[in-house]
Amino acid sequence: MSESVVPEFQHRTVLLDEAVSALAITGARADGIYVDGTFGRGGHSRKILQSLGPRGRLIAFDKDPQAIATAAEIADPRFEIVHDSFATMAQALQERGIQQVDGVLLDLGISSPQVDDASRGFSFRADGPLDMRMDTTRGMSAAAWLAVADEQTIGKVVRDYGEERFAVQIAKAIVAGRTVQPITGTRQLAQIVANAVKTREKGKDPATRTFQAIRIFINQELEELEIVLDQAFRQMAQQGRLVVISFHSLEDRIVKQFMASKARLPQPDRRLPIRAVDLPQPELKLVARVKPSDTEVADNPRARSAIMRVGERLAAPVGVQP
């Protein structure tokens, strides 16, 4: 993080103790290999390192250059940070000669410093450049995308990723607005959306869903989540834990459906003579679904929408290696 330029914003890690506890880093597993797919400001990673044994190892990922700079402050030989999306997990582990891991933690969404730093463009509460990229060193900013995307595409993004019922009206307003002047600021976009949304949700700014949608699209958050869930499961050792914290329904739906599919008992062909001992077994055990306590939500309102799901890798099906 460029602290000399960007002020330090406080970040409170959601479900800190619960998430690390769910990884079950005890006994021989304390010397295992773990992955923190979203380093953020390092709350979970530091807690994991406290639980690891001397031969344990933690590989963390993050796209945000500020997070990478924060991670550089951790002087622990058991720790390594990778400046890339967690969707590159399989390749990164392969490059390090790692075939299996004992646990993967994914804390989805954006961190408080990202939201509160107006220069990142994630929030409309303070005016700033309309960027929204998790990794500011690559890719197209939200402003650049809004300058070239057609009305239909904008509407689809706002509807699908923001679950916004006024997506068509918002898309029309954005296209009309950019003909007057380029849409480059957060407050500017928020005002355009506010003028297009006729009915407002109680207690929610009319631009909330649109900002969420554009951020998710720009960073390909849902697509990368689907990729990393599959990669994490394939890399998981027997009894390894997959722990995922989601902050909105689109993320949680993907996680829930993925874990359910792996926990479902495969149905054999009833026409074939199969012994009970040879029946296929589920690959994942659903361990827990956890929400923040009332005390945590009162202390950190941003935790209120969090849902943590935990799954444990069971023995691989016959003939299949985990």
Contact status, residue 247 vs residue 109, Cβ threshold 8 Å: yes
Determine whether 288 is exposed, middle or buried from the number of CB atoms within 10 Å of its CB (0-12, 13-18, 19+).
middle
Instruction: Report angle CA 128, 134, 138 to the nearest 5 degrees.
Output: 100
Q: Could you tell me whether strands 79-83 and 284-290 are parallel, antiparallel, or unpaired per DSSP bridges?
A: unpaired
**Alpha-carbon span 19 to 242, nearest angstrom:** 10
Is 86 annotated in a binding site? The answer is yes
Write a three-state SS string for the chain. Answer: CCCCCCCCCCCCCCCHHHHHHHCCCCHHHHHCEEEECCCCCCHHHHHHHHHCCCCCEEEEEECCHHHHHHHCCCCCCCEEEEEECHHHHHHHHHHCCCCCEEEEEEECCCCHHHHHCHHHCCCCCCCCECCCCCCCCCCCCHHHHHHHCCHHHHHHHHHHHHCCCCHHHHHHHHHHHHHHCCCCEHHHHHHHHHHHCCCCCCCCCCCHHHHHHHHHHHCCHHHHHHHHHHHHHHHEEEEEEEEEEECCHHHHHHHHHHHHHHHCCCCCCCCCCCCHHHCCCCCEEEEEEECCCHHHHHHCHHHCCCEEEEEEECCCCCCCCC
The answer to the question of whether 62 is labelled as a binding residue is: yes
114 is in an annotated binding site: yes
Q: Please check if 107 is assigned to a binding site.
A: yes
Annotated binding-site residue? 319? no
CA nearest to 308, candidates 109, 40, 88: 109
Which residues carry a binding-site annotation for S-adenosyl-L-methionine?
42-44, 62, 86, 107, 114
Which residues carry a binding-site annotation?
42-44, 62, 86, 107, 114
